[in-house]
Amino acid sequence: MSATDKTPAEDPDVCVVGAGPASALLSHCLAKRGHDVVILEAGPRFDLDERIERMKRQIHPDRADNEIWDMGGERDAYTTSGDHSWLINQRRVKGVGGTSLHWGSVVPRLYEKDFEMESRHGIARDWPISYEDLQPYYAEAEQEIGVAGPDDAPFFPPREEEYPMDPLAPSYSDKLFARAGEALDIEVHSMPMAINTGEYDRNECQGYGTCQFVCPSGGKYTADIHVRKAEREGATLITEAVVQRLNHGPAGEEITEAVYETPDGETHRQKADVFVAAAGAYETPRLLFLSESGEYPNGLANSSGTLGKYFMGHPPAGVVGVLPNEETHVDSYGPVVSSGIHQFYEYDDPDDPKRGSVNIFLTNVSGPSPATLAMAEESVGDELLESVDLQFGSTLQANMSVEMLPREDNQITVDDSQTDSYGNPVPDVDISPSEFARRGQVRGTEAVSEIIEEMGGTVVYADGTLTVEHDEMPPIAKGGYHPLGGSRMGEDPAESVVDPNLQTHDLENLYVSGGGVFVTSGASNPTLTIMALSLKAADHIDEQL
Amino acid sequence: MELSRRDALAALSAAGIAATAGCSSLLGDEGTETAAEETDEATATATDAPTDAPTETPADEASSMDTMVALAEVLYPSEVEPTESFVQTYLYGRIYAEEAYAGEVDSGIETLNGLANDEAGDDFHALSADERVSVIENTDLRTGDSVHDGSDVERVNYHLVDELLFAFYSSPVGGEMVGTQNPRGFPGGYGYSPPLDQ
Ligand SMILES: Cc1cc2nc3c(=O)[nH]c(=O)nc-3n(C[C@H](O)[C@H](O)[C@H](O)COP(=O)(O)OP(=O)(O)OC[C@H]3O[C@@H](n4cnc5c(N)ncnc54)[C@H](O)[C@@H]3O)c2cc1C
C-alpha cells in the first residue's frame, strides 16, 4: 500500500493496532503463515536517513527527549495524578517500530521466580504460565531480533540454546567495574543486547554511542524491521491511522471493526476476523475504555473491573562516580550498555523478600558527551576546551531497573477533563511509590557505590526515583521507561483481562499484546518477554483462524 | 594542528553526510582512506544530493565559508586551525544535502554580520580574532538560548555555533583532546577497548 492510501484493507484475517515490538513479531509470524494482516499505526514511518538529525537533537543540550521522535502536542496529551508525575512523552514513540526506536535494546529474560511470586515468596500473585511455558518463545524472539549475549552468565535463568551472537566485548569501564567487583565478590557479566555485531541482515553497529535514543546505523534492533518483514509476507501497513475505538457486534461477543482517523480528517472502519490491541501499555487501556458500549459500560474487556489497574513500572535508580585523574572513556566503543550485574536479582532472604529484584546495567557513556558539554558552555576557544576536558572523561555510571509490586490503586484511567486532538479524553497515569521497590533501589545503589569506592572513585550521585524529591529530579532520572500491567493476564475472568494466550476473557476475537499483560514486573527489561508472549499469542491466533 | 579535509570527512560521517554528497569532489586523494570507507547505506544520508556538485567554490559561498572559518577559529581551541577545507568540506556536505540548512547558513551569516557591524564596524570575517571574541561576548551569542526555530540570534547559536561545535567535539580530533577517540555522535567502531592499566 502506498503511504498516502489510508483506506482500510479488504477483508483481512487479523487487524493489529500499533506497530511496536508487541505487534511486529506477531504480525510477521501470522503473515508468514499465510494470514492476511493489517497493521494500523498512529505515527508515521520514520526515514532512516533522518536518524542522524534526530541523534543530533539527542546530543543538543537544549532539546528535550520527546523532541527526538516528534512526540508531544495535543495528539499525545496525558495527565498524571499520583504522587509521581511521569514524563511519558519522553518515554514512548509513536511510529513504525514504536518505542523500540528509542530503547536501549537490553534484552534479559524474566526469571523463573518472577512467574511464581505468590507460591514461592508469598507476595503478589503467580502468572498463569511458567518460565518453561515461555522458554521456546524466548528463544524464538532472540533468534528473530538478533541478540548478542553470554551463554554462561551467572544468575540468568536456564537456556535451551546459545544466543544467536557472541556477547559484546567488554568496554573499558566494564573492565574497571569487573576488576573492582571481583575484589568485593560481586560478579560483573555481559548483558544480552539486541545489537548486530555482523551476523544479522541489517547494518552492523558502527559505534555512535547513542543507542538510547537513536541508532543512526540501524545496528540496534528496532521493531520496524519486523513490520517490514511482515509487509514482505503480504501484510498491509497503514500509518498515521489513529484508532479511536473498537466496535463490537450486536451480541457483544466479537469485535467487528476498528474505527480510525487519518490526517486528512477522514474516519475509516477496518473490519477483520481477529483484533490485537498492541498500542503500548499507556494507550491500550485507554483504547479499551474509550470503546465502552451499552454491553460494556466500563470499557471493553473489563467485566473484571481490573482494566487499567495493577499498573507498574521499573522504578529506575542510578549511580554516577568520578575516578579522579583517570580517563574512563579511552576505548572506541559504541553500545551504551554491554555489561551488568544480576547478583541482586536474587533476594537476600527468599522467605521474606523485603525488597525488589535489581537489574543493574553499566553504562559505557556516562554523563553528557563532549559535544553536549561544549554546546552547553558559554565560553569559546581554549577556555571552552578546558571546561569540556574538566567535565568529561573520568566518570562511571550504572543504571538499574527495579522490581515493583502490583497494586490495585496504581492505574491508568481516562481523564475526562482534558481531550486530545481527536476530542477523546486523555490517559491518566496514577502511580505512587512503594517501600518494596525503594529498598531494591537502595540495595542496588549501595552495591554499585561500593564498587566505585573500591576503584578509588568518588560517588557523586546515587539515587532512585522513589523519594519525595522525585519531581525535582532531572527528566532522564524519572520513571516511566517500562510501563507494565493494566490489562493483566490470569485464568480467572473475574480477576484479569486476558488469558494465558492474551485473548481477552470477554471477547473471543480480541487479544491484548504488550507489557500491560504482565502480572508481576520482575526487574529485567521487559521487551523480550513482551515479544515472546506475542509469539505465543500468534500461535494461538493461528490455530483459531 | 591543522584540521584537514580528512578531519572534516570524519566529522561529516558523524553528521551523517557521507562522501557521496557534494563534498566527494573536494575529497582529493587524502581522504579516501578515512570516513569514505566506513560509509555505508545508513550513513550515506545524502544519496539524493547532487553528485555533480561544483568542484570550485562559487563567490557568495566563498565568503560564507570565510565567515564560517572565522567563527570556527574563535570557537575551537587555539591549538587547532580550522582550515577552509575543513569547514568547507564539513559544511558543503550539509549545504548540498539539505536545502533548509543552506538557508540557515545564509541568514545566520547575515545576522552575524549585523552584530559584527554594530559592535566593531565590519563584517564578522573581516574582524580580528579579538574583535570576533568581543562580538560573541557582548551579544547573546553563546550566552543566549540556542533554538532551532527561534529568534535570529538563537538560530545562529543553533545552526552555526552549535553545528561547528558538534563538528569538532564529535570528531576524533576534538574527542582526543578531551580523552576519547570515539566521542559520542561519531561512528568510530563498536568493540575496541584497551586492556586495563594502559
Ligand atoms: C528510553 C527507553 C529505553 C528503553 N530501553 C529498553 C531496553 O533496553 N530493553 C527493554 O526491554 N525495553 C526497553 N524499553 C521499553 C520498550 O521500549 C517497551 O517495552 C516496548 O517498546 C513496548 O512495546 P509495545 O509494542 O508494547 O509498545 P510501543 O513500543 O510503545 O508501541 C506502541 C505503538 O502503538 C501505537 N499506538 C498507540 N495508540 C494507538 C492508536 N490509538 N492507534 C494506532 N496506533 C497506536 C504507537 O504509535 C506505537 O507505535 C525502553 C523504553 C524507553 C522509553
pLDDT tens figures, A43-80: 999 999 889 889 999 999 999 999 999 999 999 999 99
Q: What percent of chain A has pLDDT over 90?
A: 88
A33, A115: one domain: yes
Q: In total, how many domains does chain A have?
A: 2
pLDDT at A463: 86
Read off the pLDDT of residues A185-210 as tens digits, 9 standing for 90 and up. Answer: 999 999 999 999 999 989 999 999 99
Alpha carbons A477 and A316: distance in angstroms, whole number: 7
The number of angstroms, rounded, from the C-alpha of A504 to the middle of its chain's C-alpha atoms is 22
What part of A 137-196 touches B (C-beta under 8 Å)?
A: 168-172, 174-176, 179, 195
Chain A nearest C-alpha distance from B145 (Å): 8
Read off the pLDDT band of A332 (50, 70, 90): confident
- With beta carbons less than 8 A apart as the criterion, state whether A313 and A404 touch: yes
Among the candidates A444, A475, A506, a domain finishes at: A475
Chain B nearest C-alpha distance from A179 (Å): 9
SS3 B72: helix
A298, A173: one domain: no
Flag whether A79 is in a domain: no
Read off the pLDDT of residues B156-184 as tens digits, 9 standing for 90 and up. Answer: 999 999 999 999 999 888 999 999 989 99
Sign for the CA dihedral angle at A199, A203, A208, A213 comes to negative
Mean local confidence (pLDDT), A163-169: 97
Test A333 with B40 for CB contact under 8 angstroms.
no
Read off the pLDDT band of B10 (50, 70, 90): low
Residue to test with chain B: of A369, A382, A395, A454, most B Cβ within 10 A: A369
- Name which of A50, A378, A382 is nearest B143 (Cβ-Cβ): A378
pLDDT at B62: 55
- With beta carbons less than 8 A apart as the criterion, state whether A533 and A128 touch: no
What angle in degrees, to the nearest 10, is found between the helix axes of B162-169 and B84-97?
Answer: 110
Flag whether A458 is in a domain: yes
A444, A502: one domain: no
Flag whether A206 is in a domain: no
CB neighbourhood size of B25 (10 A): 15
Alpha carbons A310 and B51: distance in angstroms, whole number: 57
End-to-end CA separation in angstroms for chain A: 24
A332, A306: one domain: no
Chain B nearest C-alpha distance from A233 (Å): 24
Which CATH number is A363's domain given? 3.30.410
Test B185 with A218 for CB contact under 8 angstroms.
no
pLDDT at B51: 35
pLDDT at A326: 87
Q: How far is CA B128 from CA A258, B45, B64, B70, B125, in A?
A: 66, 37, 17, 9, 8
A29, A126: one domain: yes
Q: CA nearest B137 in A: which residue?
A: A379
Q: Tell me which chain A residues have a C-beta less than 8 angstroms from the C-beta of B148.
A: 63
3-state secondary structure A366-384: CCCCHHHHHHHCCCCHHHH
Mean local confidence (pLDDT), A277-294: 98
Flag whether A187 is in a domain: yes
Alpha carbons B103 and B100: distance in angstroms, whole number: 5
Q: Mean pLDDT of all residues in chain A?
A: 95
- Listed range (A295-309, A321-335, A336-350) with the worst mean pLDDT: A321-335
Read off the pLDDT of residues B48-66 as tens digits, 9 standing for 90 and up. Answer: 333 334 444 444 555 788 9
| Structure-model confidence comparison of residues B82 and A17, the more confident one | A17
Task: Print the domain residue range for A102.
Answer: 1-71+94-146+222-313+483-545
Ligand 1 pocket mutation, candidates A66, A89, A100, criterion most atoms within 8 A of CB: A100
| Structure-model confidence comparison of residues A389 and B8, the more confident one | A389
Which CATH number is A138's domain given? 3.50.50.60
A23, A98: one domain: yes
B134 pLDDT more than 90 = yes
SS3 A236: strand
Flag whether A525 is in a domain: yes
A368, A445: one domain: yes
ipTM of this predicted structure? 0.92
Test B178 with A392 for CB contact under 8 angstroms.
yes
Flag whether A77 is in a domain: no
End-to-end CA separation in angstroms for chain B: 25
Sequence letter at residue A362: L
- List the grid coordinates of A378: 558559554
Test B146 with A60 for CB contact under 8 angstroms.
yes
A34, A132: one domain: yes
The number of angstroms, rounded, from the C-alpha of A410 to the middle of its chain's C-alpha atoms is 18
Read off the pLDDT of residues B38-51 as tens digits, 9 standing for 90 and up. Answer: 333 333 333 233 33
A439, A369: one domain: yes
A463, A510: one domain: no
- List the grid coordinates of B36: 569514505
A328, A242: one domain: no
pLDDT at B41: 31
Read off the pLDDT of residues B94-109 as tens digits, 9 standing for 90 and up. Answer: 666 677 888 899 999 9
A515 pLDDT more than 80 = yes
A444, A323: one domain: yes
- With beta carbons less than 8 A apart as the criterion, state whether A492 and A125 touch: no
pLDDT at B35: 33
Q: Could you tell me the distance, in angstroms and rounded to a whole number, from the CA of residue A94 to the centre of ligand 1?
A: 8
Sign for the CA dihedral angle at A43, A36, A228, A232 comes to negative
Alpha carbons A490 and A516: distance in angstroms, whole number: 12
Alpha carbons B174 and B167: distance in angstroms, whole number: 9
Read off the pLDDT of residues A392-450 as tens digits, 9 standing for 90 and up. Answer: 989 999 999 999 999 999 999 999 999 999 999 999 999 987 899 999 999 999 999 99
Question: Whose grid coordinates read 518472577?
Answer: A114
Flag whether A160 is in a domain: no
Flag whether A289 is in a domain: yes
Q: Is A92 in the pocket of ligand 1 (CB under 6 A)?
A: yes
Q: Tell me the Ramachandran region of residue B30: left when phi exceeds 0, alpha when psi lies from -120 to 50, beta otherwise.
A: alpha
pLDDT at A329: 86
Closest by alpha carbon to A522, among A121, A87, A97?
A121
CB neighbourhood size of A271 (10 A): 17
Q: Could you tell me the distance, in angstroms and rounded to a whole number, from the CA of residue B26 to the centre of ligand 1?
A: 43
pLDDT at A370: 96
A243 pLDDT more than 70 = yes
pLDDT at B96: 61
SS3 A436: helix
